[in-house]
Structure 1
Amino acid sequence: MAKKKKTIIIEAQRIFRLNKHGMDFVALEVIRALQKLDTFNRYIIAVGPGEDCCLESSANFEIKVLESSNYFIWEQLLLPKLIKTSNADILHCTSNTAPLGLSIPLVLTLHDIIFMEKKIGSNSSMYQNLGRIYRRWVVPRVLKRVHTVITVSNFEKRNIETAFPHLQKNIITVYNGVSSRFKPMDIPTEGQSLKFDKGPFWLLLGNTDPKKNLRNTLMAYAFYLERSTHKKRLLLADLDHAYLEKLLKELDLLAIKDFIVVEEYIAHDKLVEVYNDAFAFLYPSVRESFGLPLLEAMACGTPVVTSNTSAIPEVAGDNVVYTDPMDIKSIAAGMLKLEDEPQLYSSLVSKGLARSEAFSWEHTGKHTLAIYESVHL
Structure 2
Amino acid sequence: MIIGIEAQRISRKKKHGMDMVALELIRHLQKIDQQNKYYIYVAPGSDTACLEETSNFIIRTLKMASYPLWEQIALPKAAKVDQCDLLHCTSNTAPLSCPVPLVVTIHDVIYLEKSIGQLLGSSGTSYQKMGNLYRRFVVPHIVQKCKAVITVSQFEKQQIASLFGLNEKKLFAVYNGVSSYFKPITDAEILSNYKEKYHLPEQFFFHLGNTDPKKNTLGVIKAYGHFLRETQQPIPLVMLDFDHKELKKLVKESGFPEVFDHIHLAGYVPNHELPAIYSLCSIFLYPSLRESFGIPILEAMACGAPVITSNTSSMPEIADNAALLVDPYHPEQITQAM
Q: Could you tell me the TM-score, scaled by structure 1's length? A: 0.82
> Is the deviation greater in 96-105 or in 245-254?
245-254
Change (3 A) 1:256 1:124: closer
1:325 aligned to 291, 305, 328, which one? 328
RMSD: 1.7
Alignment of 1:237 onto 2:233 = no
- Return the alpha-carbon distance in structure 1 between the equivalents of residues 255 and 291 of structure 2: 28
Q: Which residue of 2 aligns with 1:113?
A: 109
Structure 2, gaps ≥5 residues long = 189-200
- Return the alpha-carbon distance in structure 1 between the equivalents of residues 250 and 264 of structure 2: 15
Letter in 1 for 2:260: K
- Return the alpha-carbon distance in structure 2 between the equivalents of residues 124 and 255 of structure 1: 24
Alignment of 1:56 onto 2:44 = no
1:199 Cα deviation (Å)?
4.9
Letter in 1 for 2:314: A
1:90 aligned to 86, 91, 109, which one? 86
Q: Which residue of 2 aligns with 1:19?
A: 14
> Is the deviation greater in 173-182 or in 69-78?
69-78
Q: Is residue 148–residue 170 contact of structure 1 (8 Å, CA) maintained in 2?
A: yes
Give CA-to-partner distance per residue, 1:38-90, whole Å, 9 cap, x none: 11100000000001021010121011111225101211111111111111100
1:130 Cα deviation (Å)?
1.4
Q: Which residue of 2 aligns with 1:147?
A: 147
Alignment of 1:135 onto 2:122 = no
- Return the alpha-carbon distance in structure 2 between the equivalents of residues 141 and 225 of structure 1: 49
Letter in 1 for 2:26: I
Change (3 A) 1:184 1:132: same
Change (3 A) 1:69 1:36: farther
SS of the equivalent of 1:62 reads: strand
Give CA-to-partner distance per residue, 1:212-239, whole Å, 9 cap, x none: 1111111111111122364321001121
1:302 aligned to 305, 311, 317, which one? 305
Alignment of 1:172 onto 2:167 = no
1:209 aligned to 209, 212, 223, which one? 212
Q: Is residue 49–residue 69 contact of structure 1 (8 Å, CA) maintained in 2?
A: no
SS of the equivalent of 2:145 reads: coil
Give CA-to-partner distance per residue, 1:308-343, whole Å, 9 cap, x none: 1110111111111111101111000000xxxxxxxx
Give CA-to-partner distance per residue, 1:164-209, whole Å, 9 cap, x none: 1134221000000000011111189xxxxxxxxx950000012111
Change (3 A) 1:22 1:69: farther
Q: Could you tell me the TM-score, scaled by structure 2's length? A: 0.91
Give CA-to-partner distance per residue, 1:84-131, whole Å, 9 cap, x none: 111110000001100112232111001111110114771122211211
Q: Which residue of 2 aligns with 1:125?
A: 125
- Return the alpha-carbon distance in structure 1 between the equivalents of residues 222 and 74 of structure 2: 46
1:250 Cα deviation (Å)?
2.8
- Return the alpha-carbon distance in structure 1 between the equivalents of residues 263 and 129 of structure 2: 29
- Return the alpha-carbon distance in structure 2 between the equivalents of residues 166 and 242 of structure 1: 43
Q: Is residue 11–residue 44 contact of structure 2 (8 Å, CA) maintained in 1?
A: yes
Letter in 2 for 1:162: S
Alignment of 1:100 onto 2:96 = yes
Letter in 1 for 2:42: V
> Is the deviation greater in 238-247 or in 174-183?
238-247
Give CA-to-partner distance per residue, 1:12-42, whole Å, 9 cap, x none: 0011011222111100011111000111100
- Return the alpha-carbon distance in structure 1 between the equivalents of residues 13 and 95 of structure 2: 25
| Fraction of identical pairs, as percent | 49
Instruction: Name which structure has the greater RCO, CA cutoff 8 Å, separation 6+.
Output: 1
